Structure formats: C-alpha cells, structure tokens
Structure 1
Amino acid sequence: MTAPPDATPLLECRGLEFARNDERIFGPLDFHLAPGMALQVLGGNGAGKTTLLRVLAGLLATTTGEVRSNGRIVDQGHLLSGSAFLGHLPGHKADLSAMENLQFSSALLGSGRALDQVLTRVGLAGYEDSLARRLSAGQNKRLALARLLLSSARLWLLDEPYANLDLDGIALVNELIGDHVGNGGGVLLTTHGAYAAPPVPIATLELRA
C-alpha cells in the first residue's frame, strides 16, 4: 500500500527542542514521517533518542516547537489514541503469564486478534503459561512485540527494538516493521546504529550528544 503524495503526515515536527534544567538535550529538529515510511533515529548514548520518542508519544512536554500527528497537536492523551510506544522496559506484569499479559492488553486496546496466533507470530508458542518473570530478556522483548501487534495505531514509536534479541529476533522485528509500513503505517525507531536498517523505505535522523 502506498500513500498519495498529498497524504497528511503521520508525524510532523517543527522546531522541536527539548531541554532539561536549562541544558538542551536535542534540537531544534524539523522532520516528518509519511504513511508507508520509516525514520531511523541514530545517535550514541546521551544523544537524546529515548527522550525524543517520549516527547513524540506525548509523555514529555516539548520545550520549544510543535509535534503534530495526523494534523493535530500531540498532547498527553495522544499516546492512548494515536500511536503505539515500545520502550526499554517490557511494559507488562512480571507475575502474569505471557497469555494473561496479552489478555489484559487485548481488553485494554479492544483488540479482536487471536492471541495464540499473536504469540506464535513472535516465536512464543509453547510459552503461553510461562510467567513473564521467568522468560529471558529476549523472550520478554518478543512478548512486548506481541503486545505491539494488538494495537491498531498507524504510528509505531520503537525505542531500541532490536535490544536483547538474537539474529532471529532481529529478523522478526524487520518483518513486523515491513508488514506495518507495507500496510500504510509509519515507524520511527531508535538505534545505536549497530544493526542493519529494516528493508523498507527509510530516512535517517542523527542526534549528537
């Protein structure tokens, strides 16, 4: 699926800047993300990649500039209605099983997807009854990816999605991104640059510490 040339950007930033204690973390930045594309944010530790994603998700307020998604200004309610955010932490309950975590997320998001099929898609078939705290770091990342697939959001904000994954897991992330972009979604992902970019139309934005 390709977007028409005049399609409203899924994400648009103008003069975006963020400062903490009067120290600028990044910016000013100007960029946009169209449907059917991905944007890879590069930068070393301390460059502000995670902070940028939290600002884009509406979890942190901008210092200067503006963030728009589908033509409207991002606010603190945006994360629930317009985008799906995958952060460093898994974001699920350690004392619930993989299936119980998905059931909770499915009810919260109103997803109608078959949960056993979602677990199979991310390589966790057979781990339905395993407590999240007994899963490895890589398996917990796969469970977080399963929760991501329950969202209907067109915009994915992925913070270091390859972290803790083996080569098969890295390939899985690339497949999921490819499917999402191919269906007209948009993906903004951060990386230290140690992994190959997903095989989709992609732009890069480099942050420097």
Structure 2
Amino acid sequence: MRLSRSPTIQTLAVFLVVFALQSALRFVSPLLAASLFVLAPPVAVRPWTLPLSVYAHANVPHLISNAIALLFAGLLVERVTTTLRFHAYFLAIGMLAGVAQVWVTGLFSPTAPAVLGASGAVFGLFGYLLAGNPVADAVLGRLRLSRRAQIAVVFVLAFLATATTAAPGVALVAHFTGFAVGLFAGRLHILRTETQATNNDRPV
C-alpha cells in the first residue's frame, strides 16, 4: 500500500493539519482555539468539538507521543480492514473515550472537565490488536471462558493498560474506555472484511 493510501498516515496528516490550525488560532485567541477544539460539557452546546478534539493536541510532546503510538498500532490494524472502516472506528472510539472522560471526571471534579487528544482512540487500536489477533482467538477458544469471565478479563486488562499511563493530567478514563472497547471490538473482529475472514477461516 502506498503511504498516501494508508489510513494511519492519513490520520497522522490530519493530526498535523489540526495542530497547525490550533497553533495559529492560539496566537490570535486562545479562548477561540479552546472553544473549537477542546471537548467540555455540555457537549451539545459545541458538538463540533466531539470529532475535532480527537485530532487536536495540547502541545508538541502530546502530539509526538500520540503520533508514535498511532504509527505502531495503526499500521498493524489497517492491514486487516479498509480505509473507511479504520477511520470510522478511530473517530468513533475517540469520541466515545472523550465523552466518557468528561462525564466521569465531571462527577467527581468541582471544575468543568475538558479533554483533547487521540490517546483514547489509539488505545482502542491497541485493544483491538490484543484481542483480535489469531493467538488471542486460539487461547480464548481453549479456555472456554464464560461471558462474565470474558468481561472480567477485559476490565482487568483495560485497568492494567490504563495504570501504566497514570500521571497528572493524563486522561485515564479515556484510556480505559478506548482500550476496553477496543478489546470487545477485537473479539468481535468488527474491522475485519469478509475477504479477510474467509482467508482466515480456510484450512491450512
């Protein structure tokens, strides 16, 4: 696949374009930049921040860390799906993770919560990788876990993955949500195309 056709590279390009726009607007009006790109309650008042916040970043280190993680996970996930499914999945997981972050933290924080960045969506890619590969299929197939046990495993893995990123200012709820949903999506193989599924099901 040419790099220009890679959904991972396309997503990275969107990161850079959005960050350039953020930087320009911050120079003119930091308040305007925040109102356009930062997801904060009530979400219905500024619905455009739902998708834009997924591709926006707080600063250069934030952008670089998410870009590196995106390249690592995205280039692997895109091999089993289409460009459209990849982008739809990434955006949907990112928005869901962002909403979870502002909703849950809003329950416990005296100040209005706010979030931006693609880490929730990237964690969704990592979760998909972990649960949607042939090794995971073989292991879980042999264990024959009950539905409750599988859900418990998902939450334990999501908690452990989230704990590794614990630090001040990190959107832990978004990380947890993205990874957990990614694990469920991986078990269901929702990104896999019919052709890919047929090839995987053929006897060796």
TM-score, normalised relative to structure 2: 0.25
Structure with the larger strand share:
1
Structure with the larger helix share:
2
TM-score, normalised relative to structure 1: 0.25
Largest Rg, 1 or 2:
2
